[in-house]
Amino acid sequence: MARAPGGWTVTRGLQGPPPQPVAHAGGGGIGWWSAIVSVVASVAGVGCGTTIEPEPVVLHYEATRFVITEGAGSTDALQEGASLEINMREGGFTTGALFLPASVTGAGDLTAELAGTWVQRGDTVLFDHSTTTFVSEVAWVISAENLSTSDSYDGAEYDVVLVRVF
């Protein structure tokens, strides 16, 4: 239990003033225990039988074209074993994953979670993820069946098409 400014207490995320003794009508006894028991019982009952589900997936996309061009050479990342999938959820949230094998990165394997947000402006979609990758640094064009980009980031050109699976 921590004491916050103004004499409020914080106990396991619940906030409020410290409990005060309550006088019973029949005498001067302290009844704050019954008040606490009553509050705990009502709070404990809130979650019983309730399941919190994640936001439903609005759109799910998977890469069908993933070509990276650096300098004079191009790499078909999918042929090398790369993968990219994004779930665009209600409320503007995303989940998904990007995987680039060492043969594409030139170093070690790269795996990035694409948890973050998305916003659509006209036919352009922009992503903001907790992990910085080209996905959140380029503009994507949305159509009825796919997301695509032909944009550059960090010295490389990305030609990517994600097909809507559902």
SS (H, E, C) the chain: CEECHHHCEEECCEEECCCCCCECCCCCCECHHHHHHHHHHHHHHHCCCCCCCCCCEEEEEEEEEEEEEECCEEEECCCCCCEEEEEEEHHHEEEEEEEECHHHHCCCCEEEECCEEEEEECCEEEEEECCCCHHHCCCEEECCCEEEEEEEECCEEEEEEEEECC
Residues 25-48 have pLDDT tens digits of: 444 444 433 433 343 344 444 445
Decide: pTM greater than 0.75. Answer: no
Mean pLDDT estimate for the chain? 78
Domain for residue 34, yes or no?
yes
The answer to whether 97 touches 90, Cβ cutoff 8 Å, is no
Regarding whether 157 and 84 lie in a shared domain, the answer is yes
Regarding whether 89 and 18 lie in a shared domain, the answer is no
Domain for residue 76, yes or no?
yes
d(CA 76, CA 3): 58
Domain for residue 40, yes or no?
yes
Regarding whether 77 and 130 lie in a shared domain, the answer is yes
Quick one: pLDDT at residue 103? 96
d(CA 160, CA 166): 18
Quick one: pLDDT at residue 58? 85
Regarding whether 151 and 90 lie in a shared domain, the answer is yes
Residues 88-145 have pLDDT tens digits of: 999 999 999 999 999 999 999 999 999 999 999 999 999 999 999 999 999 999 998 9
Regarding whether 77 and 15 lie in a shared domain, the answer is no
* Host domain of residue 92: 57-164
CATH number at residue 90: 2.40.128
Regarding whether 78 and 29 lie in a shared domain, the answer is no
Regarding whether 129 and 81 lie in a shared domain, the answer is yes
Q: How confident is residue 12, by pLDDT bands cut at 50, 70 and 90? A: very low
Domain for residue 52, yes or no?
no
Domain for residue 85, yes or no?
yes
Regarding whether 76 and 28 lie in a shared domain, the answer is no
Mean pLDDT value of segment 44-64: 67
Domain for residue 20, yes or no?
yes
Domain for residue 51, yes or no?
no
Domain count of the fold of the chain = 2
Tokens representing 95 are 């989940």
Domain for residue 160, yes or no?
yes
